[in-house]
Structure 1
Amino acid sequence: MAVVMSMGGVLNVVDGIFVGHFIGSDALAAVSLAFPAAMVLSALTTLAGGGMSSLMARYLGAGDRVAAGRVFAEAHGLVLAISVGLVALWAVVGPALVDSMAASNPKLAGLAQDYLRIIILGAPAQLMLGVHADALRNEGRASLIAALSVLVNLFNIGANWLGIVVLGLGISGSALGTVAAQALGLALVVGVRGHTKGLLPLSVLRSQSWLGAWSQIVRLGLPLCLSFIGIAVVASIVILSLRSSAGPEYDALIAAYGVVTRLLGFSFMPQMAIALATQSIAGNNAGAGRNDRALATLRLAMGAAFLWCLSVMLVGVFAGTTLGSWFSDDPAVIAAVAEILRPVMLLYSSSGPVLVLALYFQALGQPGRTAALTLVKPWFLTPLLILTLSVGFGVSAIWLAFPMADASILMLAVMIGRHVLHPADAPDVDAEKGR
């Protein structure tokens, strides 16, 4: 799972380098404006795949393949409904919203619209790929997903190079390469399922209804989905705060913030992988009545996530200038990247263990605790702190909102999960299923 998620992060970093060096800082800023919408797409992918995973892992752990196949089919119907809604929403409000975020800069708005139009039209491939990848993960085929992920992401990097550098399609080349790679990935996972014994057969998509239990999938997937949308909300508030207070530095700061979001996206992927692996393993063992194994998984995963996040924190604090130079030749952008990263990364080491704990609760069917750990920071703490610090102390104080929010959510995690790691206080699975 770490390989799978990391390859997506590597792709975002490499694509940002292509955009920054071969198209320019305006295109890098345009992609930054598109970041909130891209996060919403990731959130919706998690809504369907994550909610399905919580149910599927427990059904498979209990040996109920019929119920697992039914949930798999229902997730497909949910994905199609979401895709139709996305296209309609973009047609109604998309262009006007992008123009507002671009501060009425027509060049910036045009670039962002070109990018997002292609990404949203290609959303069905992304959403369906997410469902199939999550299903394979819960069926114990993580190594297979890793191999396919490496192949698809290498194809994506090559396609982006072709579109941006060779064909000169600009920012549209980046979006087209991404959609083409997602379509290829979907074709590969469908082909694998159709020719691999031991997996849920594709025939369940014909024999089972696509319309039932959407509410149950949504209920379980919503906390993690909303946490991704919360990231988009935070990014939007940062952009709006910079627009109102950055003055002539706005373009450079937006481009730099876009670089930081890509770096944070890359660093987030391995910790998310650890959390998703925890979800699958803990869910299967909980379904089989092995609370001891579920708890051992949680301990190991929290330790691994802490070590990863600590390493990322040290790199971000001390190597910001070097990282900025990867993406741009503009000294103002490079300096801004380092200026943003230093405060943002101060307490980053706590974020991975908190995410792992949240998905452990989701695996046991406890969306309330998951919601508390994944939604309070992006929906309440960080936006409130950004707005308060921006108004009271100016642009440079905005970035202090991130470590302050990390400190607050760490205290909340200690309160919610303080008894979980003690064997005597391990949650009773049968009781949790009844909640």
Structure 2
Amino acid sequence: MSMGHAAQHANPFLTAPVGRLFLSNAVPMAVVMSMGGILAVVDGIFVGHFIGSDALAAVSLAFPVVMVLSALTTLAGGGMSSLMARHLGAGERAAAGRVFAGAHGLVLAISVALAVLWAVVGTALVQSMAAGNADVADQAQDYLRIMILGAPAQLVLGLHADALRNEGRAGLVAVLSVLVNLFNIGANWLAIVVLGLGISGSALGAVAAQALGLALVLGVRGRSRKLLPLSVLRKHSWLEAWSRIVRLGLPLCLSFIGIAVVASAVMLSLRLRAGAEYAALIAAYGVVTRLLGFAFLPQMAIALATQSIAGNNAGAGRNDRAQAGLRLAIGAAFLWCLTVVVVGVFAGSTLGGWFSNDPAVIYAVAKILRPMMLLYASSGPVLVLALYFQALGQPGRTAALTLVKPWLLTPLIILTLSAVFGVRGIWFAFPMADAIILTLAVMIGRNALRIDGARTFEAEKSA
């Protein structure tokens, strides 16, 4: 038996029952993502109740930049995952190691570029977003300065977590995530509530937790013989595979940046249309972004599990197993999103009260959530389908499903409806964009999956 065939035989992605495989990957990743969402919610509660509404507004202003950091983490990790999973599925561990090493060089270059860009435009950008509120601008700038300087830890940690997931260690990633996020919550409580460091304490807690997480994953990889060894980082060039990683990771990366674009369009529309309600609505929108960020993360967990399953099986020529995993994931994502809809529609005021004692903010949270939830249940299945295509090395289809809505549809509809109907029109832009992208997803998915299914059938006949 060749080394490649032996590696394939030992790969659980290719041999375990698809249902069990989906659960063993989706559940741990849901734990990982949910812990991040819980952290964001708890941090928002700390900020809102122990620092004040200006700090909550500052975090809201920082949100687009924070999303860019998450997007860049996805650029490297997501692109690497597509390549690595297929190499591992084909039993090509050496090729997987080269991609892993190249991804480290890419994140190092990204980190340097971020620091330079922040030094050049950071202050002016934050002051412009704060609309003349000096206190909010100062707090947002302090927060973002720490987050950007700590970006290398976040980016490299993301790489190693994605690598472990594609090596079949999703459960280990979940355990480490729980530990790191609990540490982060404790560090934020210490920095904000006990030491009184303000919004800077939130950023310092996040960076410290990411550094701890990175140390833990490096320790795990260094002690395991079944994982790609750390020696591949010395053996292979850090300049390898950048273009392929970027090409495959760019659609998902741009979709995260698109979230920042949408948030910026909302803030601009509020600034133009909200009048005296601007401060309360900005704070409420910050709460909503944290709540929907929490709701989004289990969707992403399901999609990432799909990516690992589809990538490994596509690399081994098992499109039948890849599509079986896709069907399970779409159903699970829909059920999760439907649950979010029910909670958002009927418990908006309660959720708002978690973050603020201001009645205006609480009322605004509920008012924002209700229209945004109208077609939210479609968002999870669309994301799953997008990452399925990304896992198969089809960035064009991924881009169509992940970029059209945040970069074109939602901002355009927000600006149009807010000009016609005022603030209320902003929130109805979201279900309108969902309806259009769902139609596009049905068209792309039906055609593509029918073709892939026919290819699988012909391959089975010829075998």
TM-score bracket for the superposition, by shorter chain length: over 0.9
Distance 1:394 1:186, change over 3 A: same
Q: Is the 8 A contact 1:306 1:352 kept in 2?
A: yes
Question: What does the per-residue CA deviation read over 1:156-193, in whole Å, with 9 as the maximum and x for residues that have no partner?
Answer: 00000000000000100000000000000000001100
Report how far residue 332 of structure 1 moved.
0.4
Does 1:273 pair with 2:297? Answer: no
Which residue of 2 is the match for residue 92 of structure 1? 120
Does 1:118 pair with 2:146? Answer: yes
Paired amino acid for 1:192: V
2:221 corresponds, among 177, 186, 193, to 193
Question: What does the per-residue CA deviation read over 1:216-254, in whole Å, with 9 as the maximum and x for residues that have no partner?
Answer: 100000000000000000001111111111111111101
Does 1:81 pair with 2:109? Answer: yes
Q: Is the 8 A contact 2:106 2:242 kept in 1?
A: yes
Matches within 5 A, 1:382-421: 382-420=410-448
2:100 corresponds, among 58, 72, 84, to 72
Matches within 5 A, 1:12-411: 12-411=40-439
Q: Is the 8 A contact 1:292 1:423 kept in 2?
A: no
- Specify the SS of the correspondent of 1:418: helix
Report how far residue 423 of structure 1 moved.
8.7
Report how far residue 425 of structure 1 moved.
3.1
Report how far residue 430 of structure 1 moved.
12
Distance 1:285 1:164, change over 3 A: same
In the alignment, the residues of structure 2 paired with residue 350 and residue 250 of structure 1 have an alpha-carbon distance, to the nearest angstrom, of 30
- Specify the SS of the correspondent of 2:443: helix
Distance 1:372 1:106, change over 3 A: same
Report how far residue 422 of structure 1 moved.
5.0
Paired amino acid for 1:174: S
Which residue of 1 is the match for residue 16 of structure 2? none
Paired amino acid for 2:295: S
What runs of 5+ residues in structure 1 fail to find an aligned partner? none
In the alignment, the residues of structure 2 paired with residue 282 and residue 428 of structure 1 have an alpha-carbon distance, to the nearest angstrom, of 14
Paired amino acid for 2:63: F
In the alignment, the residues of structure 2 paired with residue 190 and residue 428 of structure 1 have an alpha-carbon distance, to the nearest angstrom, of 39
Question: What does the per-residue CA deviation read over 1:376-397, in whole Å, with 9 as the maximum and x for residues that have no partner?
Answer: 0000000000000111110111
Q: Is the 8 A contact 1:33 1:102 kept in 2?
A: yes
Report how far residue 100 of structure 1 moved.
0.7
User: Alignment identity in percent?
Assistant: 82
Report how far residue 87 of structure 1 moved.
0.5
Paired amino acid for 2:69: L
Report how far residue 419 of structure 1 moved.
3.7
Question: What does the per-residue CA deviation read over 1:235-278, in whole Å, with 9 as the maximum and x for residues that have no partner?
Answer: 01111111111111111101000000000000000000000000
In the alignment, the residues of structure 1 paired with residue 285 and residue 40 of structure 2 have an alpha-carbon distance, to the nearest angstrom, of 14
Q: Is the 8 A contact 1:136 1:142 kept in 2?
A: yes
In the alignment, the residues of structure 1 paired with residue 187 and residue 339 of structure 2 have an alpha-carbon distance, to the nearest angstrom, of 31
In the alignment, the residues of structure 2 paired with residue 191 and residue 174 of structure 1 have an alpha-carbon distance, to the nearest angstrom, of 26
Matches within 5 A, 1:5-16: 5-16=33-44
- Specify the SS of the correspondent of 2:411: helix
Q: Is the 8 A contact 1:420 1:427 kept in 2?
A: no
Report how far residue 3 of structure 1 moved.
0.5
What runs of 5+ residues in structure 2 fail to find an aligned partner? 1-28
Question: What does the per-residue CA deviation read over 1:206-225, in whole Å, with 9 as the maximum and x for residues that have no partner?
Answer: 01000122011000000000
Report how far residue 318 of structure 1 moved.
1.1
Q: Is the 8 A contact 1:274 1:305 kept in 2?
A: yes
- Specify the SS of the correspondent of 1:169: coil
In the alignment, the residues of structure 2 paired with residue 17 and residue 196 of structure 1 have an alpha-carbon distance, to the nearest angstrom, of 39
Paired amino acid for 1:246: A
Q: Is the 8 A contact 1:17 1:326 kept in 2?
A: yes
Q: Is the 8 A contact 1:295 1:426 kept in 2?
A: no
- Specify the SS of the correspondent of 2:317: coil
TM-score of the two chains, using structure 2 as the length reference = 0.92
In the alignment, the residues of structure 2 paired with residue 149 and residue 429 of structure 1 have an alpha-carbon distance, to the nearest angstrom, of 40
Paired amino acid for 1:55: L
What is the root-mean-square deviation of aligned Cα atoms in Å? 1.4
- Specify the SS of the correspondent of 2:225: coil
In the alignment, the residues of structure 2 paired with residue 192 and residue 267 of structure 1 have an alpha-carbon distance, to the nearest angstrom, of 30
